[in-house]
Amino acid sequence: MKIYHNPRCSKSRDTLSILEAHGQEAEVIRYLENPPSREELQSILQKLGMQPSELIRKGEKIYKEEYKGKELTEEEWMDAMLTHPKLIERPIVVHQGKAVIGRPPENVKRLFE
């Protein structure tokens, strides 16, 4: 089990707490410090059943300054997330070929119940 985690995010901390409370050990990946590769991000998106544009955090300053109102291809959104990992929605938990976004944090329970 892996969690793409930002310790400054309350939803990310809450999701990690739920995992721990249910005895789930997770590899914690601080994705802002150690961003996923293109291949990892593509794999995550596949497991989520999402397109790159659906994983974008539209409330981020970098989104508002550089991307808001622009028409980008899915490949360009992928490039944006790789360039600015802060744009990646969080937290993401991956387990046994599946993935969920911890918004709300309780979503993570679907992976191990």
Which CATH number is 104's domain given? 3.40.30.10
**Catalytic residue list:** 9
pLDDT tens for each residue of 81-107: 999 999 999 999 999 999 999 999 999
pTM recorded for the entire structure: 0.94
What residues make up the domain containing 15?
A: 2-111
Q: How many helices, marked H, and strands, marked E, lie in the chain? A: 4, 4
Tokens of 38: 């293109």
Find where tokens 């291949």 sit.
39
Q: How many domains does the chain have?
A: 1
pLDDT tens for each residue of 60-71: 999 999 999 999
